[in-house]
Structure 1
Amino acid sequence: MKMSGDFAATVAAVAPVVWLVGAVECQQVTKRLINRVREGSVLLTETLERLESASDEVVLAHEWSEVEKAKLKRPWPLLALFTLWGLLATSLAITTVRCIGWLGAEKPGPNPGEAMFCYVSIFVSFAVVLFTPIIAAVVELDPISRRHDALQRVIAEQRRAARLRRGQARVQNSVSPPP
């Protein structure tokens, strides 16, 4: 592989486009994470309210820990994505500048090392842009089903505790002597 006018012009045109698409995809993944954090804080508030009104706090506390595990995880995948994308964006910027510099040189040489750097930079960046939404979708499917199951268990336990309280209230009303 060697640098040529056509190769350098194509890379100089394609690299910013790949960067732009990658930046938009990173922003979409960030939005999803922020929404998950917001949902988690709402869920925390709702669960704490249920705990205050429940008679069986131990069971609901256990259920909350399950919900918390499924819902409020650290954003390590997002940090990894930002680190990877930061490296790739830097690589794409260097690639664009080098190609423009090569095109503007008086007597540019074939420079196979520079051509390979540009090729690898574009290829890896394109692959990341292509596979990021697929990986994000797969990663989000499993926690969604676990969150749903855990939330359903919390709701069922809250209903069971409410029925138990109503039953205890009926027993107390039927046992207590009339005034």
Structure 2
Amino acid sequence: MNRPLAIALLSGALAACGSTPPIHHYTLGPLPPAPAAAPAAGGASLVVGPVGVPAAIDRLHIVRQQGAARAEVSDEHRWAAPLKTEIARRVALEVARRSAYGRAVAWPQASVADPDLSLPIDVQRFEADGFERVTLEAVWTLRKGGRDVASRRFAATEPIQAPGWEGLAAAHGRLVDALAADIVAALPARP
């Protein structure tokens, strides 16, 4: 074999070994349509967070359960931002859209120095069971001036409607929207 041909073949083989699959990033999906009677932009203030998530999912890589004791951590499919950040942001947006708390923001923030209420959320389980369903279990607490005003445990399961990673991300988003609706239903009408 001549030298230039051997170098070309070797270069091609090395290039093939070095290629990596593309990385896809996901959010919790599009927001649902705004309610017909959306509240005014002002209103009471609420800080959503901090949000705690289990260490197994506290990463950018999307994790799916594959049986009772095995989890798949995807290298190619990742969250666009840390999941706890995405949850806080989405809940804050939904609370602002659906309640009198028009100044709801995600923690950590600097725009509301002394909020009317704070809303820490402890996510205890947020699991994708293959491409079948996603389950969310969380405990949230409304606090005013360091005193608990309301607290609930939320648990729901959402089927993945479209097979694949986008459908999985959208199911996560629908569950966070359901969590936000649960919180909105418990918010005091006036802080």
- Do Structure 1 and Structure 2 share a fold, with TM-score over 0.5? no
Q: 1 or 2, which has the higher strand percentage?
A: 2
Using CA pairs below 8 Å that are at least 6 residues apart, which structure has the higher relative contact order?
Answer: 1
Bigger Rg, structure 1 or 2: 1
Question: Greater helix percent: which structure?
Answer: 1
